Amino acid sequence: MMRFCKKCVMPNTRPHITFDKNGVCIACQNNEKKKKIDWDKRLKELRELCEKYRRNEEGKYDCIIAVSGGKDSHYQVYVMKELMGMNPLLITVEDVFTMTEAGKHNIQNISEAFGCNIISFKPNRRAAKIITRYMFEKYGRPLWYVDRLLYTVPLYYAAALNIPLLVYGENVSYEYGGIDDEETYSAREQVFNGVAPDIKLDELVETGVPRDELVYLDAPSREVLNGLDPIYLSYFVEWNGVKNYEFAKKRGFKDLTHEWDRTNHIENFNQIDSYGYLLNAWMKYPKYGHAYATDYAARWVRYGILSREEAVKLAEERDHDLDPKIVDDFCKFTGMSVREFYVALDKLYNRELFELNEFGQWRLKKENVEERRHPKW
């Protein structure tokens, strides 16, 4: 049976999350610890780190920022360029799916709003199609290929361009619970955090993708990693996705208002770049019994925006409801029919967590629904 955090709505099925003896998840515990942090002192530490890497040479970049164009990316660039006075080079890994109008606008806006150059890495679409379908059908990890590049490409570019300071947003494991939930400024181990775990290249070659088309899927060598200084900005500044959104709007960021009301989300401003990519976050539902509505409702409880009861209601209403636009775009890219998609999806449901209702739909078992509403520890 699933167990749920007594403060938020996060279940113990989230990979690598831990709970204390009182039934409080590590993300909520860390949220309480953050309230005692001296953020002025942390900002001073960031300034000192920036001074270490500031080149003071015309035309030379001081750091690299990995961006998507999203709300958090806008905030990262603001902190590093306008607060710290650094000259950043932005690097983005392009989405392979159909972009939203908001997504198209935002990646252009981040360059225009802050006056930054962007290097855009376009993934090999042939390899992406083959591997994306394979990873979906076999592992339920449809966006492994793109996510892996999101982690590795900035590291390779930082090494190749000899720009050691590489800036990421939040430490996902510390903020939300995961494999490496220790508080640290260093993001050097991020590529090993379990979001896009290693897959043997021999296995991918067997899908029909030549080995020489799998460049960058392996993490850089330890020697290369040790020569870089990747950081989590969330260590130095108080991280809050809603406040980042409110800031980004003031600098030209657009959300999905009047464009798309996503059935499985509770907001319209996070991960809004494209359609098909959102399958990745939703796939946690058949595998672990929770998806994006739970993720963000839990954060909003920690931010003080929602009560736990309100978060439970949103999770029950939204988590299971996979938006058809996501499915259509995913199938369009991979070449699957919608029927093939749902046949494959049906095999991925965790039978320990789910049962079929009278309409042939997978739903959480009643004991899991009741446990979410009234957690017992």
Residue 56's pLDDT is 84
Residue 43's pLDDT is 98
Residue 92 in domain: yes
Residue 271's pLDDT is 96
Q: Are residues 56 and 115 in the same domain?
A: yes
Residue 297's pLDDT is 98
Residue 79's pLDDT is 99
Helix axes 324-334, 338-348, angle to 10 degrees: 110
Overall residue count recorded for the chain in this entry: 377
- CA of residue 119 relative to chain centroid, distance: 20
d(CA 294, CA 310): 11
Residue 191's pLDDT is 80
Residue 270 in domain: yes
Q: Which residues contact 121 (CB under 8 A, 6 or more apart)?
A: 91, 92, 93, 94, 149, 153, 157
Q: Are residues 226 and 297 in the same domain?
A: no
Residue 13 in domain: no
Nearest CA among 334, 285, 321 for reference residue 143: 334
Residue 181's pLDDT is 63
Nearest CA among 152, 76, 163 for reference residue 116: 76
Amino acid at 144: W
Q: Are residues 195 and 308 in the same domain?
A: no
Q: Are residues 294 and 151 in the same domain?
A: no
What is the domain extent for residue 81?
39-235
Residue 194's pLDDT is 55
Residue 89's pLDDT is 99
Which CATH number do you get for residue 147?
3.40.50
User: Count of domains in the chain?
Assistant: 2
Residue 58's pLDDT is 80
Which structure tokens are listed for 371?
A: 């446990």
pLDDT tens per residue, range 212-263: 999 899 889 999 999 999 999 999 999 999 999 999 999 999 999 999 999 9
Residue 78 in domain: yes
Residue 332's pLDDT is 98
Q: Which residues contact 117 (CB under 8 A, 6 or more apart)?
A: 89, 90, 111
Nearest CA among 352, 353, 358 for reference residue 319: 353
Residue 255 in domain: no
Listed as ranges, residues in the chain with pLDDT below 50 are none
Q: Which residues contact 38 (CB under 8 A, 6 or more apart)?
A: none
Residue 280 in domain: yes
Query: For residue 283, is it left (φ>0), alpha (ψ between -120 and 50) or beta?
Result: alpha
pTM (2 d.p.)? 0.95
Q: Are residues 214 and 352 in the same domain?
A: no
Residue 317's pLDDT is 97
d(CA 160, CA 156): 6
Which structure tokens are listed for 116?
A: 């930054």
Residue 195's pLDDT is 60
Residue 377's pLDDT is 85
